[in-house]
Structure 1
Amino acid sequence: MLRYISRRVVYAVFVVWAAYTVTFLLLYQLPSDPVSIMLGGAGGEVAANASAAQKAHLAHEYGFDKPAVVQYFVLLVRAFHGDFGQSVQSHVPVAQLIAEALPSTLAISSLGLLFALVIGVAIAVGANFTRNAFLRGLLFSLPPLTASFPTFWVGLVLLQVFSFRLGWFPAVGNGGFASVVLPALALAIPGAAAYAQVLGRGIEKTLREPFIDVVRAKGAQRARVHLGHALRNATIPALTLVGLTVGGIFAGAVVTETVFSRQGLGRLLQASVNTQDIPVVQMLVLVSAVAFAIVNLVVDLVYPLVDPRIARPAH
């Protein structure tokens, strides 16, 4: 078990490092000039009128005058020590910008993940448990249908129904728990569709396994067969999706926070990409990679609890 955990931790660290490295390489290849952006925009009037001394000073201050390899290792060492530099646009420490935006995104992401799990498991279990053929077919058809809905469209529909018509939730802003519900639902629906589809088919397949016949022959109640045996054995593929969903939720936050006019990491990423604020973009990608690695590490550690055979060494 210890060897299994150690290997997973190493994989998680590698994912974070790889994300940081790829991000640096991509950002370094951008055709724009960060110094020109700081002086008023690439090709802008302020940048054109700036003296060579001003440009050289800014390039030296931010390390843009060094070779790419040197920049990479300098930034990597600083990141390892928790120093992520300053925003090119606002001149505020990047860590401060992230700390201010993170709680809002964390709120809708966490609630969205919870909604996705609850809705997905409910649909999967309900589709296999019901004896009504019409309801069963309807529940099994929901996941592929809802998976095709774009996040921005789901958000607009939720706004139209629950904010403008019913008035149950606020339409925009960061005003307490009520303002979190609709953005979280908009993020949850695509994930819930994936969980329901994978878990539903997994339960359906498990219910045809020979050991289920043995469980039924021993007199187990129908609910126990579905929840205590079939659901547990069909959980592992769905658990894998939980880790993969984290990246999708972060990407969806960009759209969701724009639709609901919320301040968070998504809006910060959008603004930073528009202004090519490289330190902020790189830090946001790193935060996303760390979150992805942590969630996948937790999922990997849960696997042996569901199926102890996973952590056993191969012979």
Structure 2
Amino acid sequence: MSTPTATPPRRRAGPGRSLKWLLGRLGGGIFVLWAVATAIFFGIRMIPGDPAEAIMGGPGSQASAEALAAARAEYGLDQPLFVQYFGQLWRLATGDLGTSYSLKSPVAEVLGELIPPTLLLAGLALLLAWAMALALAVLSTRSGPWGSAIGSGLEIVSAAVPHFWLASVLIMVFSTSLGWFPPVSTNAPAGLVLPVATLALPLAGFLGQVMRDSMEGAQRSPYALSARARGESETGVLLRHSLRHAALPGIALSGWALGSLLSGAVVVETIFARPGLGRSLLQAVTARDIPLVTGVALFSAAAYVVVMALSDLAERVADPRIGTP
């Protein structure tokens, strides 16, 4: 009779592997920032119009030819395109985001005022989306086939609803008809309810789909069957095993979720007249405010990179089979 071979213990990650993971994340982040800066630089110059007019206040400023020429010389717009490109890359690498054409203020100061309200909106929407997705996944899983079918339908409809349509419906129902919340965002907590709900509902539908599928798989897994055989109740199986595995896809998608929230903020902040990165980005693109567009895009890309790294780390902590970096 052969002796069963013992499974070797999983080796703990050493400093070399952690350093390799960190350097890989850092290199990937630098590449993303470079790609975003490059796409913004060349993309915004494809918009018809003269950037010098934006500096002088727009086409309606009636600036003279001499004033336009002076503005081009001051901002280096009279130089060859690739000279401007590499000059901008150098300034960005040294932390100089430039001065906003339309606001006549340093982009760093403008971002300092715009980032907090947008992060508050996105953070609250992400928490609400997570709570709704987990609740819907638990209820649909515990309610049998009919509950799962109804939950799946609600998730699909919620994920497919456009932000602009949902915002309009919420304003008509909860502001115009019922008068519960203001139609525009204010500093009061009530002014955040409709913008947060508009961002959270579509995201909750998408997260709910992947969480429910993961939870249903966890409920049928061998470790869940083993726990039931040991006398564990269904509630215990749910709390000890299924919820953790249902949360793993949501953790892995946190970076994508942040990108979705920041892009949705463009529509939501505009509809609800809320100051923030999204609304200012739309105005900056319209005004061909190249420094402000670049600053907003780089911050969004940097936030995406950081959240992706944190979600990767959280996923490794939540699931020991993946291992720590």
TM-score (norm 1): 0.90
Aligned to 2:265: 253
Aligned to 2:5: none
Query: Cα RMSD between the aligned structures?
Result: 2.1
Supply the distance in 1 between the matched residues of 2:172 and 2:240 (Cα, whole angstroms). Answer: 40
User: Alignment partner for residue 108 of structure 1, among 121, 125, 147?
Assistant: 121
Asked whether the 8 Å contact 2:55–2:101 carries over to 1, the reply is yes
Aligned to 2:6: none
Aligned to 2:76: 63
| Unpaired stretches in structure 2, ≥5 consecutive residues | 1-12
| Unpaired stretches in structure 1, ≥5 consecutive residues | none
**Matched position secondary structure for 2:322:** helix
Asked whether the 8 Å contact 1:15–1:289 carries over to 2, the reply is yes
Equivalent positions of 1:78-97 (< 5 A) are: 78-97=91-110
Question: Residue 18 and residue 168 in structure 1: after superposition, are their counterparts in 2 closer, same or farther (change >3 A)?
Answer: same
**Alpha-carbon deviation of 1:106?**
1.6
Supply the distance in 2 between the matched residues of 1:309 and 1:32 (Cα, whole angstroms). Answer: 55
Asked whether the 8 Å contact 2:159–2:201 carries over to 1, the reply is yes
1:21 and 2:33 aligned:
no
String of CA shifts for 1:101-147, please: whole Å, max 9, x gaps.
2222122111111111111111111111234x443322221100111
Supply the distance in 1 between the matched residues of 2:324 and 2:147 (Cα, whole angstroms). Answer: 41
Asked whether the 8 Å contact 2:316–2:323 carries over to 1, the reply is yes
**Matched position secondary structure for 2:160:** coil
Asked whether the 8 Å contact 2:56–2:71 carries over to 1, the reply is no
**Alpha-carbon deviation of 1:196?**
0.3
Residue type matched to 1:36 in 2? Answer: E
1:148 and 2:160 aligned:
yes
TM-score (norm 2): 0.87
**Matched position secondary structure for 2:95:** coil
Residue type matched to 1:46 in 2? Answer: Q
Supply the distance in 2 between the matched residues of 1:287 and 1:10 (Cα, whole angstroms). Answer: 17
**Alpha-carbon deviation of 1:158?**
1.5
1:266 and 2:278 aligned:
yes
Aligned to 1:46: 62
* Farther-moved stretch of structure 1 (287-296 vs 94-103): 94-103
Q: Percent identity?
A: 38
> What number of residue pairs does the alignment pair up?
308
Question: Residue 262 and residue 222 in structure 1: after superposition, are their counterparts in 2 closer, same or farther (change >3 A)?
Answer: same
Tell me which stretches of 4 or more aligned residues in structure 1 moved more than 6 Å. Answer: none
**Alpha-carbon deviation of 1:167?**
2.4
**Alpha-carbon deviation of 1:165?**
2.6
Asked whether the 8 Å contact 1:104–1:174 carries over to 2, the reply is no
User: Alignment partner for residue 186 of structure 1, among 198, 204, 208?
Assistant: 198
Supply the distance in 2 between the matched residues of 1:240 and 1:18 (Cα, whole angstroms). Answer: 23
User: Alignment partner for residue 9 of structure 1, among 9, 19, 26?
Assistant: 26
Aligned to 1:136: 148
String of CA shifts for 1:3-45, please: whole Å, max 9, x gaps.
3344233323322222222222222333422013334545x67
Supply the distance in 1 between the matched residues of 2:141 and 2:46 (Cα, whole angstroms). Answer: 51
* Farther-moved stretch of structure 1 (19-28 vs 147-156): 19-28
Aligned to 2:111: 98
Question: Residue 212 and residue 122 in structure 1: after superposition, are their counterparts in 2 closer, same or farther (change >3 A)?
Answer: same
